[in-house]
Structure 1
């Protein structure tokens, strides 16, 4: 609890959340865990995961955990009213279909991104050019051992290698397993169409 208080002290009246994130980025705190984002935005953890998996909040998957770049939180803040409306529309849709559990989902229909691109602008994060593996692990707030295993890194990590690693793990570049989808693709397209009507 003490660590959380140190990490996110109460904001002075003159300091906005955006200014705080910018200040902390200059100090080297570039990525945030979903629970930190939930606390910062005063939303539930589920809403943060919803925003990530519905491509409303940029994140990278590192060692099996999401990490959110600071500027994505700022963009999310600017679009939060629309995203909240989408979230509640999605919740209403799911709740209205909770009794219909006869949807068949194929176990062997996988979609992979063949040419990962930096959709999130990670090149603008100003991460040091040459990093020790411990420094990169510290930036991503993951264990050094797990990061070495996940990224096949040595003791030093040149920025091009770290950049490629992060881009490949941007959520929109990750494989989509149909078995992990909550409903069929056609129904998801229908939800997206309904959500577009909210704007």
Structure 2
């Protein structure tokens, strides 16, 4: 059983590209060579590749490296024939099989539960965690999915007035939202807007 693993995550915004598997294998060899005091045997180290789903480029690299697929079920695969244990996890099938909302956010699915949205919002609200997550591949796509589940007034309420300005007045930011988002605005919130903005919103959504 491996005691440590190197994980490479490929997002829907940056899918697997040719030779990414070679890169992961290179990481494993370098890490093994540089940590003899921690990793005694190759069997102690494992490589994990997280992808939204298998692609032709991934299949081609597996074949070129002389590896073979072992289906572990529910989106998990083991690649036989490498110097180190290699596991491929397809995010979309795994999220479906395990009904995991957090994995859906990282794949092509949408979060279904309030708990998943609350968890992500809490992470984004913590300054140190947010700074780390911004470096995560696919971070922008995850944020887009989260914002799409929230009412527009709730999104704007997260920002101080000065932050809302950032190039556009808040009401112009509202008018840049899609019609479906404008329809979700409550009457009470609309009453806080200027007459011109209310008229523009009503002209678009018939309210």
TM-score, length-normalised on structure 2?
0.25
Task: Indicate the structure with greater strand content.
Answer: 2
Compare relative contact order (CA 8 Å, sep 6+) and give the higher one, 1 or 2.
1
TM-score, length-normalised on structure 1?
0.26
Task: From the CA coordinates, give the structure whose radius of gyration is larger.
Answer: 2
